[in-house]
Structure 1
Amino acid sequence: MKTGIILLAAGRSSRFGSDKRCAPWPGQTCMLKASIENALQSGLPCYVVLHEGDQSILDHCIDDGAEAGVCPDAARGIGDSIAFGVHANQDWDGWIIARADMPWITAETYRVLASHLEDNDCARPIDEYGQPGYPTGFSKEHAFELMQLHGHRTEARLIPDAPYVNVMIGDPMIHSDVNRPEDLPHSA
């Protein structure tokens, strides 16, 4: 089964105040590069979804070993970016939908979710208290639904409320993203 990571990086960072993808990150040149590196260390293919005007970032993604594409409708919302990424990778058997502003997600988390998709149609990471987080995973059975997302509708709405989708991940970072400069690590 070929499962890959759709890394969503097409937002405009309005709450951050500047392009957070380029924010300095410990051990890397920037936050986006850290997210790509963690995804690629999983051994899974990675496809980065960008917005218009990102040609230089697209080139850097490819140089770093990821595939990338510019979503022409990214400004309409995250749903359009998800649909674009899945459509561009229809040959995959499953997709892990990840956010580039969650650079703490580990390669192991990606591998565990991909493994869960071998026997299940959805994967949702949960913590020890049962609280869901990100990234999420979907098998090919959900391709049509994922490609129909638009605007601010996310993939999370497609996950059934059923115990079989839950994957225990012992990492609280499944809840942590970067929205404002104060969310960056202090050493960044």
Structure 2
Amino acid sequence: MNTPGIIILAAGLGARFTRAGGLGNKLLAPQQNQQPLLALTLQQAQNSGLPLLVVTRPEYHAILDLAQQRHIPAITVASNGSGESIAAAVRHTRNWQGWLIQPGDMAWVTAEDHRCVAEALAAGAQQVRLCWDQQPGHPVGFATGYGQALSELTGDNGARALLDPGILQTIRAHAGVIRDADLPEPINRS
């Protein structure tokens, strides 16, 4: 495979969501047309045409079912944080030519956003991050040279420690690249 792929992180516990009054798994919270939040995220990622992998917890059967319904490969990990989820996904996808890391609760990231990061990696960038109003966003892209370091991540800081401001290519995007669903509210794409 000669293209980077997208890792969809769906193994979080959603503690901020439940503390704010949300019920159940935030990735399954109904949104527009009663679709689960994660379904909207997966739809945008699939529309990019890039390879996908969902990483979730073994007990998140509904997320595994959703991935299967959409014909998206999924792996499970009893993760103690996003670092462990990323590491497991990278070990599973060593044949990819880079990785785009995308939290499952960011349904406002578009297929074009994914393609933009993938194209920057294909053009030789080592690290790519979308941003809006000088705020860092997602997805974050890493070239193949980061495979070993990504596969060794632990904890809940994700790949943040690997980012190097000296080589990180930032691309201006829209507000959707920084928006997540930590608070229980329906998506409004207007």
Contiguous gaps of at least 5 residues in structure 1: none
> 1:64-75 to 2 correspondence within 5 Å?
64-72=70-78, 74=79
* Closer/same/farther in 2, CA of residues 24 and 131 from structure 1, 3 Å limit: same
From 131, 136, 148, the equivalent of 2:135 is 131
Tell me how far apart the structure 2 counterparts of residues 125 and 67 of structure 1 sit (CA, whole Å): 25
Offset, 1:150: 0.4
Q: Secondary structure at the match of 1:165?
A: strand
TM-score normalized by the length of structure 1: 0.90
| Distance of 1:58 and 1:131 partners within structure 2 | 32
Deviations 1:130-162 (A, max 9, x none): 332111000110001101110112112211102
Partner residue of 2:21? none
Q: Which runs of 5+ in 2 are unaligned?
A: 19-23
**Matched letter for residue 130 of structure 1:** Q
| Percent of aligned positions that are identical | 32
1:93 aligns with 2:94: no
Between stretches 54-63 and 150-159, larger displacement belongs to: 54-63
Aligned length: 182
TM-score norm. by structure 2 comes to 0.89
Q: Secondary structure at the match of 2:181?
A: coil
The answer to whether the 8 Å contact 1:28/1:34 transfers is no
1 CA distance for matches of 2:176 and 2:40? 14
1:60 aligned onto 2:66: yes
1:147 counterpart residue number? 151
Two-structure CA RMSD over aligned residues (Å): 1.7
Of the structure 1 ranges 148-157 and 113-122, higher mean CA displacement relative to structure 2 is found in 148-157
Kept in 2, the 8 Å contact 1:15–1:180? The answer is yes
